[in-house]
Amino acid sequence: MTLARRIIACLDVDEGKVVKGVGFVNLEAMGDPAAMAERYEKEGADEIVFLDVSATHLGRSTLLDVVSRTAERLFIPLTVGGGVRTAEDIDRVLRAGADKIAINSAAVQTPGLLTEGSERFGAQCVVASIDARRRAGAGWEVYVSGGRKPTGLDAVEWAARCADLGAGEILLTSIDRDGTRNGYDLELLSAVCAVVSVPVIASGGAGNATHIADAFSTGADAALLAGILHDGTTDVRSLKTTLLGGGFPVRMAA
């Protein structure tokens, strides 16, 4: 049986508002996260990812009130990331209404958090979020703190380690492609899919249904979308109709 591929709407949230930029910079406010999440669910999104993009950089916790307000309007799964540093943080965010937790900077600083989170809450709740930038020579480097700080870690090797540590899913974002609408970094995606057995979410660069189809063909289990949904360039239902016509198994909303 072929599992349906997922279309995931991403809400990058800064101080309570959805924002979008290019390459993680020049962020512009787009709207209210709860209202936008509800709209994307009605359009047929399979999941929502809510990333508090300034929490880690500012050293604060996730905005739980915004998470709760968003979660209470959804029936589809909600993944929340940003400002999660401990297992207690994971517990608080799950109690606020999240179904999964995306861990990025804290996983690099404390890799055992992925294992503790998986053991306490289940691997299905733990998403390793990896922001990668292409190196001048070859390969990709992991960046943390909202794409601000290089770590020296090889992104492909780090993805494999995250899966070994207990992450049930990999959210893989190309910083170079973020907001460009030129398509996902398929070389990066292929390299990571080759070394992990857990689902991989392609992120960074979606501009149309062809880009999503390319990601699925490369091995992604899900595609993350933001800008093209936020500004009305397209909608989830239209994308899924095109993908279904191209032979990709996706769930259509009733």
3-state DSSP: the chain helix, strand, coil percent, rounded to 5? Answer: 35, 30, 35
**H or E stretch at 49:** strand 47-52
d(CA 31, CA 153): 34
d(CA 82, CA 51): 6
Is 176 one of the annotated active-site residues of the chain? no
Is 221 one of the annotated active-site residues of the chain? no
DSSP letter (8 states) at residue 194: T
**Closest by CA position to 120, among listed 88, 154, 78:** 88
Out of 131, 185, 221, 235, pick the active-site residue.
131
Q: Is 94 helix (H, G, I), strand (E, B) or coil?
A: helix
The answer to whether 218 and 192 are in contact (CB under 8 A) is no
Which amino acid is it at 210? T
d(CA 105, CA 146): 8
The answer to whether 126 and 198 are in contact (CB under 8 A) is no
**In b/e form, how buried is each residue of 6-34, taking b as 16+ CB within 10 angstroms?**
bbbbbbbbbeebbbbbeebeebeebebbb
**Closest by CA position to 203, among listed 77, 73, 41, 24:** 24
Supply the residues annotated as catalytic: 12, 131
